[in-house]
Amino acid sequence: MILNMGPQHPSTHGVLRLLLEIDGETVVKCIPDIGYLHTGIEKTCEAKFYQQVVPLTDRIDYLCPMTNNLAYCLAVEKLLQLEIPPKAQFIRVLLNELTRINSHLVWLGTHALDIGAMTVFLYCFREREQLLRIFENVAGQRMMTSYFRIGGVSLEPPIDFWKKTKDFIDKFPERVDEYEGLLTQNPIWVERTRGVAHITAEDCIALGATGPTARGSGIDWDLRRDMPYSSYEKFKFKVPVSKDGDVYARYLLRVQELRESNGIVRQAFDGMPEGPVRSDAPKVVLPDREKMKTQMEALIYHFKIVTEGFQVPAGEVYQGIESPRGEMGYYVRSDGTAKPYRVHMRSACLANLQVLEKMVVGRLLADVVAAIGSIDIVLGEIDR
C-alpha cells in the first residue's frame, strides 16, 4: 500500500511529503518529496546589494537565523579580505551558540512531542522564550534577527543584554538536567528510540550527512573544532560523538551539545574583549549615526553604501560553518559589481534528508516519526 505522509502532517516539521510504500506495518520504500517551500532565495540574492542579502539569509533557516547570517557574512568578508575586530567575533560566537541552544530546544521539544512526551515541549519553550527575549533585546527582533553585518555586527549590545545572558547561562545547566530527568532514563522514551533508525558511518559519508546525524554514527567531525572560523579556535569545548547511530544516540549527543554550547557562551561572556564591534572599512561598513550627522565624509559614505552598495573584488569563495544541523555552506561569486553574481547555500538538511530512506526501510511505520525527528530537518533550509 502507498501511504502519503504529509505535506500537512504535524510530525514532518513543516511541509515535507513522504511517499511511503508499506507492507502491513513495515516500510518497504520511502521517497521524500520536497519543494513546497521553494521561494527562490538564491535567485533573489542576485538582484540585491551584498548588504541586502543578510535579511534573506534569516529566512532560510528560521530556527537558527544567526548561523546563516554568520556564514554569509564570513563568505563576503573573505571575498573582501576584511578583518573583523575581536569583540565582534566574540559576540558572533556567543550569539551563535545561543542560537544553537535555541534550535536544539525546539528540536528537543517537538521531537519529544512527536513521540508522545508532552511535558518536555513546555519545559523547552519556557527556556526558548528567555532566549528569544535576549535576541529581541540585542537585535530588536525575536526570530528574524539580521543582527550581523558585513564587517561586524550592527550595534553595540545594550547593557541589559549582558545581564540577561548571565542569568540564562547560570540557570541553564539545571534546566538541561530537568529535560534529562524527564527523558534519559524514561523507559517509554528508551523503548521508542534505542536501536531505532540505525545508520552507519559509511552511509553517512556516502550520503553527505553532517552534524549530529553523522556524529551520532561515530564520525568525529565538527567544523568549529576542525576548521575554525570566527575565532572558535580560542574556545575550549568537547565534541560529543557516539558510535550507536540510533535515535537515542542522537538525542544524547544533542543534549550534550546543549551543555557544551552553554560552556562556550560562558567563555565568550567571561573573555569578551574590549573594542569596536565593526571593522574600520568606511567603504563597506555604515558609519555611526553620530558621525553621519556631524561629519561630511561619513555622510557621503553612508549615502553611497545605501544607494549604490559597495563593490566586491571579483572572485569566488565557499564558507562552511557548523550549524545546529550540520555543515551550512555559502558559495558566493562576485563579478566585481555591487550585487553578487551567484549565491548558493549548501543546506545541511537537504543532504541529511537523504539518509532518511536508509533509516526507515524495513522498520515500523511508527518509527518514521522518530527518524524524522532525530535528523532535525527544517524545510525552509531544504527548499530555500
Partner 1 sequence: MPLQPAITDVAQLKDSPAVSALQSAGLVEGAKFDRDELTIYVDRAAIRQACEILRDRPETRFNFLSDITCVDVFPSEPRFEVIYHLLSHSQKDRVRLIARVPGGDPSIESLMGLWPGVNFFEREVFDLFGVRFLGHPNLRRIQMPEEWEGHPLRKDYPVEGYR
Given a contact cutoff of 8 angstroms between Cβ atoms, the answer to whether 93 and 264 are in contact is yes
Cβ nearer to partner 1, comparing 157 with 240:
240
Burial 262-291 (b: 16+ CB within 10 A, else e): bbbbbbbeeeeeeeebbbebbebbbbbeee
- Exactly one of 17, 234, 259, 333 binds partner 1 (CB under 8 A); that residue is 333
> Which listed range, 139-147, 244-252, 313-321, 366-374, lies at the site for partner 1 (CB under 8 A)?
313-321
Give the interface size with partner 1 as a residue count (CB under 8 A).
44
78 contacts partner 1 (rule: CB under 8 A): yes
Given a contact cutoff of 8 angstroms between Cβ atoms, the answer to whether 367 and 195 are in contact is no
CA–CA distances in Å: residue 287 to residues 48, 280, 290, 298? 21, 9, 8, 6
Q: Which residues contact 117 (CB under 8 A, 6 or more apart)?
A: 182, 183, 186, 188, 189
Cβ nearer to partner 1, comparing 42 with 136:
42
Cβ nearer to partner 1, comparing 222 with 246:
222
Q: Round to whole Å and give the CA distance between 124 and 63.
A: 14
- Exactly one of 3, 25, 35, 289 binds partner 1 (CB under 8 A); that residue is 35
292 contacts partner 1 (rule: CB under 8 A): no
**What's the min distance (Å) between Cβ of 209 and partner 1?**
7
Q: Round to whole Å and give the CA distance between 143 and 130.
A: 12
Site for partner 1 in 174-233 (CB under 8 A): 205-209, 219, 221, 226-227
Half-sphere CA count of 105, side-chain side, radius 13 A:
26
- To the nearest 10 degrees (0 to 180), the angle between helices 365-375 and 247-270 is 20
Cβ nearer to partner 1, comparing 153 with 355:
355
Cell of 377: 530537518
316 contacts partner 1 (rule: CB under 8 A): yes
Cell of 43: 535567485
336 contacts partner 1 (rule: CB under 8 A): no
295 contacts partner 1 (rule: CB under 8 A): no
**What's the min distance (Å) between Cβ of 318 and partner 1?**
5
Cβ nearer to partner 1, comparing 47 with 300:
47
**Contacting positions for partner 1 (CB under 8 A):** 34-35, 38, 40, 42-44, 46-47, 78-83, 205-209, 219, 221, 226-227, 313, 315-318, 320, 327, 329, 331, 333, 341-342, 344, 346, 350-351, 353-354, 383-384
